[in-house]
Chains A and B, each alone.
Chain A
Amino acid sequence: MLLPIASLALAAVCLLAFATPRQATTLFTPPLLPRHQSFLRTAGFFLLATSFLLCILAAHAARMLLALTGLLGVYAVLIALCCTAWMHWKKTPSPARNITRTDHKR
């Protein structure tokens, strides 16, 4: 039961991260439109609510809720680091791409 809930929670945190105003403007080119952000946020909160609901309906509800809460924290940190890495990658093109660009100029 934990695996589907964990997957739902991961999807929810990803959607919520993409829908955060700062991430929506910095991660995507062109930036996500406000209505897209709003749609993603709604979907994220819906998945989050579903995962909490599934925990409540599970056999060991209290334990599942605790595990889900802890997991959400870990996901949030990991996704924040992934966003940072993505931004770093976007800002610093790889040497291979640099070479191609230089060749192209010539």
Chain B
Amino acid sequence: MKPTFRACMAWLHTWSGLTMGWLLLAMTLAGTLSVFRPEINTWMRPELRTPSTVNPDMATQTAIQWLSIHAAKSPTWYLEAANARAPYVQALWLEGDAYQDHALDPQTGSPSPLRDTRGGDFFYRFHFELQLPYPWGRLIAAVAAMALVLILLTGIIAHKRIFLDFFTFRPNKGQRSWLDAHNLLGVAALPFHLMIAFTGALTLANMLMPWGLTTLYHQDFSALEHDFNPAGIERPASGKAGTLAPIGPVLADINHRFAPNRLIRLTISNPSDAASVIQAIAAPSASGVGVETHTLSYDGTTGTLLAEHKESRPIMGFYRFLYGLHVAHFAPVFTRWLYFLSGLGLAGVIATGLHLWTSKRCQRHRGFGFRLVERVNVGMIAGIPTAFACFFLANRLLPPSLATRAQIEVQTVFCVWAILLLYAAVRPATVAWRDLLGMATLACLGVALLNGLPVTPLQIGVGVTALSLICLFSYATWRMARATKEKS
């Protein structure tokens, strides 16, 4: 009998979901955490005891003073201005052959008072680079994003009774319960899932389809950059020494021109050369959704305005709107939490989908494929949250002055993840579920304890999230322990 269209879509949904599910789960959880990237950055630097009302201009000035002394030879400084969410300047500059990425203290401009950590930037980068060198990480992430769009669309077609089952969750019914949870989490936040998948695929689209750009620009990426940002001025170093103009008046002019928006990013190229350029980018407007719509370029030595560009091209506005939807830089606290919850919902959809694959097949012959998926499911679904929680633990437990501590923090994540995957591979599945979920509970408990008394809004946010996860994982551990006991 010829299979129906719906059956074909269900088949595609199942197998594309299985092959990309583990990767998508890791990307989704990292992306969900990066909604609170600045907050995680701040939490991971407990030395920041400054009041939240840091003067961003003063912080930028002190950072530039420090960089003028300690990174004068660097070809470019990339600075992210301090704000209420991240009360410090994040600076990136080239030192020798390696990029230095540090948070600079708003009072002194030096990175030394603050512990060296990747903070929330780890989750943000991992979300689309997967800790792999360029272009491999982005390429794989682009394929995964396209696959997510496909999985969602095929899932909608395969789901027969979307409206009938809309508010339905029937617990304690085995496979039926997992399918209900999968459908409920998928359908309830479907607009968010579709939006985040589509905009995610769009942001990495040139990785999969680079031919349009290469045909149009013939590898001349400076022309592309200029079309993208007409106010961006690229001047090669003149070879003559130069001094930066006093940054205070330049910042005052930037604030005046950007008002009511504020400065978000400052790029200073050739800072100790006569041909230096200061480029400023504005934060999203108070009412819009898009990103980076206003750019200014100044001569670095004189402080005179060289170019200004306010984005008014419809297609660029549309692209920036879609990109803005994905990164949610515009979002106030309430919307950020909605993004976070919807992201967790998407992770839940993927995890329940992966588990559903094994629970559908557990009554049949259990071949190597089944056992492999079963074990990897345990290592991924319970292992990723545990490994991510260990990143927070490592941040607080490693000595602040430890050399290369930022790298060690990241290594901790992958070591824990690998150990948990290995553990899941060698133990019976139900036992591994129980133990790994227990470890996830303990890791979240550790984060809650190291968070301290919830006094500030940041600590309250971390505390509430950690406690919610403790409840979820401890309940799951209890259920798995009961199942293990019944089985034995």
Interface residues of A (CB under 8 A from B): 2, 16-17, 20-23, 59-60, 62-63, 66-67, 69-74, 76-77, 79-81, 83-84, 88
Contact residue among A63, A72, A73, A76 (Cβ-Cβ distance under 8 Å from B167): A76
CA distance A77 to B166 in the complex (A): 9
A73-B191 contact in complex given A60-B287, A84-B171, C-beta closer than 8 Å: yes
Q: A71-B338, A76-B166, A80-B168 are in contact. List 16 more A-B contacts (CB 8 A).
A: A17-B166, A17-B167, A20-B163, A20-B164, A22-B165, A23-B168, A59-B287, A63-B330, A67-B335, A69-B192, A73-B191, A73-B345, A74-B342, A77-B185, A77-B345, A80-B188
Are B167 and A70 within 8 A (Cβ)? no
B288 in contact (CB, < 8 A): yes
What residue in chain A is nearest B287 (Cβ atoms)? A60
Residue B170 CB within 8 A of the other chain = yes
Q: How large is the interface on B (under 10, 10 to 19, 20 to 34, 35 or more residues)?
A: 20 to 34
CA of A63 to CA of B335 in the docked complex: distance in angstroms?
Answer: 8
Structural contact, A80 and B335, CB atoms closer than 8 A = no
**Chain A residue with Cβ nearest B185:** A77
Residue of B nearest to A26 (CB): B168
| Cα of A16 to Cα of B170 in the assembled complex, Å | 19
List residues of chain A with CB within 8 A of the CB of B168.
20, 22-23, 80, 83
Residue of A whose beta carbon sits closest to that of B324 = A62
Kindly state the separation between the CA atoms of A80 and B168 in the bound complex, as whole angstroms: 6
> Interface readout for B143-165 with A: 1 if CB under 8 Å, 0 if not?
00000000000000000000111
| A17 and B163 alpha carbons, distance in the complex (Å) | 10
By beta carbon, the residue of chain A nearest B340 is A70
Q: Bound state CA distance, A74 and B348, in angstroms?
A: 13
Distance in angstroms between the alpha carbons of A61 and B353 in the assembled complex: 35
Could you tell me the distance between the alpha carbons of A60 and B166 in the complex, rounded to whole angstroms?
30
| Distance (whole angstroms) from the CB of B443 to the closest CB of chain A | 25
Show 29 residue pairs from A and B whose CB-CB distance is below 8 angstroms, ordered by the A residue: A17-B167, A20-B164, A21-B164, A22-B167, A59-B287, A60-B287, A62-B288, A63-B287, A63-B330, A63-B335, A66-B335, A66-B338, A67-B335, A69-B191, A70-B192, A70-B335, A70-B339, A72-B188, A73-B191, A73-B341, A73-B342, A74-B341, A76-B167, A76-B187, A83-B167, A83-B168, A83-B169, A84-B171, A88-B171
